[in-house]
Chain A
Amino acid sequence: MTAAVREASKASGPPPGTRRSGPRFHIGTTALVYGALVAILAVGAVLVAADGKNLFSTGNIVDMLTRSSLLGFIAIGQTMVILCRSLDLSVGYVMAACSLIAALVMNGSEANVPLGIAAALGAAAAVGLVNGLVITKLKVNAFIATLGTGLILKGWLDTEFAGPAGKVATSFQQFGYTRISLVPLSTVVMLLLAVAGVLYLRKTRAGHHIYAVGGDTDVARLSGIRTDRTVITAHILCAVAAGVAGLLIAARFGTGSALVYDYGLDLESIAAVVLGGTYLMGGRGGIAGTVAGVMILAVLDTVFNILEVNPFYKDVLRGAIIVVAVAIYARRQLSARPSRIRFAAGGAS
C-alpha cells in the first residue's frame, strides 16, 4: 500500500489507453445528473398523463418540492462529509433530537423561537463535533463512529421521550407550510443552504481543503492542511444540516418527534449524494449534483404516489433505479480511481 502507487493513479487524468470518444465537449457529471432529472420528469409526466392526470399541476409541483426539502437538508450535509471521505449514519437521530429540543424550548411561545432554533442547532453542532473528534482523535472509522453516536442518541431519545413532545410556536410552523407561489418556503431555504454550501466548497479555503482531504489525505496533510480540523468541520456542518431538517420536522408536525429516526434518511441521503455524482471515495462531486439527486428521488416518489403504485413495488423500483442510475455515472469515473483505503483506521484517511 505505497503512497507512490496511490499518487500515480491520482495524479494522471484518464489512464493511457482510454479511448477519447467522439466530440470533444466534456459533459460534466453534474450536467448528466440534471439531464437524468429532466428525463425522469419527462417519463413521469407521460406516465401520469396516461393515467389521466397532470404531473405539473400546482398541487403536484408543491408536493414534489415539499418532499425534497427534508431529504435535501440531510443530503447537503452528507455531501460535505462524503467529500472528505467520511460518512454520517447518525443524521436521522440528530434530526429527531433537534426537533424535540426545538419544540421543547419553544414550548408554544413566540418569544422563544430564536432560542429554540439556536438550542437545536447548537446541540446538532455538538453532536457533529463529537462525531468528528471520535473519527479523527480516537481514530475510529466513520461508519462505526457515527453508527455508535446514533445508537447513543437513540437510547437517550427512547428513554427520555418515547414519541412526540414539546410544542412549536405557531409562527414557526410557517416554515413547514408557507409557499411562495409554487415553491414551499422549506425548499427555498434548502436551496439557499445549497447555494451557501456550493459557495463554501468552491470559494473558501476551508472548502478546498475538504476536497483535498477527500482526494488524498496524506498528500493533503503533507501540503500543510489540517486534515483533522477539516474533517471535524465537515461533520459539524453535516450535523447542523440535519439539525435544520429537525427544525423542519418540528415546523411540519407542530411538535417534536423522536420516532422520525426510523425514516431511513441516513441511507437515503447517501443514495441521493451518490446519485448526484459525488464520489463515495471523496474528493469529487458537489452539492449541485446532490440537489439534483434529491429532486430525482422526490419526483420518483411523487409519480409513484400519483400512480398509486403498490408501496412494495415502489421499494423494488427505487432500489433498481438507484443502482441503474449510479451504474450509468460510475462508468464515467473509470479513470483516476484511487486505490481503496476507505474507512481505514485513522478515520478519514
Chain B
Amino acid sequence: MRASRLALVGLAAVTLLLSACSTDTPTETPPGDQPAQTADGEWFVRADYDRELAQRDIAPEGDAAKPYLQAIQPEWVDTAKFKKDGGDATVCFSNASISNPWRVTGWITMQQQVEVLKQSGDIGEFRVSDAGDDDNKQISDIQAFVTAGDCDSIIISPSTTATLTPAVQAACDSGVPVVVFDRGVQTDCAVTYIHPIGGYAFGADAAEFLVENLEPGKKVLALRILPGVDVLENRWAAAQEVFKGSGVEILGNEFTGGDGAKIKDIVSQYLQRGDVDGIWMDAGDGAVAALEAFEDAGKPYPVFSGEDELTFMRKWKETGIKAIAPVYSNFQWRTPILAATMILKGEQVPKEWVLPQSPITATELDDYLARNADMPSLHYAKFGGEDLPGFPDAWKDR
C-alpha cells in the first residue's frame, strides 16, 4: 500500500508542479529575416556587400560636427507610443563586455554621455549588466531586465548575432523600446538598430587602399584576430572580394588572437622567406608589433592598413609609412543613449541607424593626432567625445 500511496503523492506533486509551469521562450522569430551566412561563401552576402560599399559614398543626413547623430539613408519610424513624460527615465544597458580597449574607450564615452543626460534630467537611473563575452550570461542579463519590469528602455550590445536573437526578441515582446547597437541580431523587432556602415566597408576600405598603392604581383599578408566573429569575418570576406582579380598576391591569412608576440613572430617568419609588401589587418591590435618585425628584419616598411588605434597612428606618423586607418566608428557608443532619450520623448528615429564610417587617411592624420594628443596609447581616435564635459580627463585617467 505504501508504494501506491507514494505513487499518488508523487503524481499529485508532479501535476501541481506542471500547473506552475511557465515559459520565457521568445516567440518564433518572424520569417523574412536574413540569416547571417548564405550563398557566395560562408560569410559573404553579395547584397550586403554592395549596399555597404555604396553607402560609403552617400552623404549622411545631419550635422557633420556631430557624426554620432548622423544617419545614412534613414527611414524614420514613429515612436510616439513610447513617449514618457516627466523625464527621469530608467535606461537599462546589457553590455557584451568591456574586454578589449575598443570597447573600453566606447564605454567611457557612453558613460560621459549619460552624465550629460542625467544633468539635464532626461535620465534618472542608468543600469548596466556586463556579460563578460558570455552569450549565456547576456541572455540571463536581458531576461533579468525584462522581469524587473522597471526599465523604460533597454539598450543591448549583443555579444553574438545569432545566439542573442531569442533574448532580444523577448525584450521586444515585453513592450519596452529596445535599442540594439554594434553587432546586430537576426530580428528587426528593435525600435532602432544602430551601427556604422559595416564590416564589408571596413575590409574593403583597407583592401582598396592596398590595391591602389601596390602594383600587381606585390605580396600582401593578412593578419586576423579570431575566426567565427561575424564583424571580423565580413571584413575579410570583403577584402578577399577586392583582392580578387586585382593582381595582388595574398601570401596567407593568419589568426593571431591580437597577441603582439605572435604577430611579430609570424611577420618575421614571412619576412625570412621573402618579401612582404603590404599588410592587411582586420583590427588594429598589435599593428605596431607587425611594423617592428620589419624594423628588426631590416626590411622596408610595407603599405599598411590598421585601425584608428592611437599606438598605430603615432607609429604611422613617426615612420611615415603609407597607411590607412579604417575605423569602426567608436562614437557609435554615444548614439544609443541619445536614441533612447529621443524615443522616450516621442521623437522619430531611423529604423536602421547607419552611422558614417570613414577611414582616417594620411591627410587627416595630423588633425586626429592633435585632437587626441593627451590620450593613452590604446585609445581610439574617432571616439567622438571631445565635446563631452569629461574630456579629456575621463579618457586620460581611466
Contacts and interface: CB of A to CB of B under 8 A. Distances in A.
Interface of A: 57-60, 62-63, 66-67, 70, 158, 161-164, 170, 173-174, 176-181, 249, 252-255, 257-260, 262-263, 301, 305, 308, 311
Contacts of B24: 177-179
B160 interface: yes
Given A59-B148, A308-B127, A311-B130, A177 B23 contact: yes
Contacts of B127: 308
A170 B28 contact: yes
A260 B163 CA distance: 11
A178 B228 contact: no
A313 to B, nearest CB: 11
Nearest to A259: B228
The interface size bin for chain B is 35 or more
A178 B147 contact: no
B325 to A, nearest CB: 26
B144 to A, nearest CB: 5
* Interface of chain A: mostly helix, strand, loop or mixed: helix
* Interface core residue of B18, B25, B127, B148 (most chain A CB under 10 Å): B25
Contacts of A255: 162-163
A59 B130 contact: no
Given A66-B140, A181-B22, A308-B128, A257 B163 contact: yes
A161 B143 CA distance: 28
Contact of A253 (B22, B132, B133, B162): B162
A254 B163 contact: yes
B137 interface: yes
15 contacts: A70-B136, A158-B227, A162-B227, A163-B162, A163-B227, A164-B162, A170-B25, A179-B23, A180-B17, A180-B18, A180-B22, A253-B136, A257-B135, A257-B160, A311-B98
B230 interface: yes
Interface string B112-151: 0000000000000001111011111101110110011000
Contacts of B17: 180-181
A66 B144 CA distance: 11
A70 B139 CA distance: 13
A242 B313 CA distance: 45
B99 to A, nearest CB: 8
Interface in B1-49: 17-18, 20-26, 28, 36, 42
Contact of B143 (A63, A181, A258, A263): A63
Nearest to B127: A308
A179 B136 CA distance: 16
Nearest to B17: A180
A253 B135 contact: yes
B229 interface: yes
A59 B144 CA distance: 6
Contact of A259 (B132, B160, B233): B160
Contacts of B153: none
Contacts of A163: 160, 162, 227-230, 233
Given A170-B28, A178-B23, A178-B25, 20 more contacts: A57-B148, A59-B147, A63-B144, A163-B229, A164-B161, A164-B162, A164-B228, A173-B166, A178-B22, A178-B24, A179-B23, A179-B24, A180-B17, A180-B20, A181-B17, A255-B163, A259-B160, A260-B136, A305-B129, A308-B129
A311 B132 contact: yes
B165 interface: yes
Given A63-B140, A180-B20, A311-B98, A253 B25 contact: no
Contacts of A258: 228
Contacts of B165: 254
Contacts of B147: 58-59, 62-63
B143 to A, nearest CB: 7
A180 B24 CA distance: 11
B128 A173 contact: no
Nearest to B27: A170
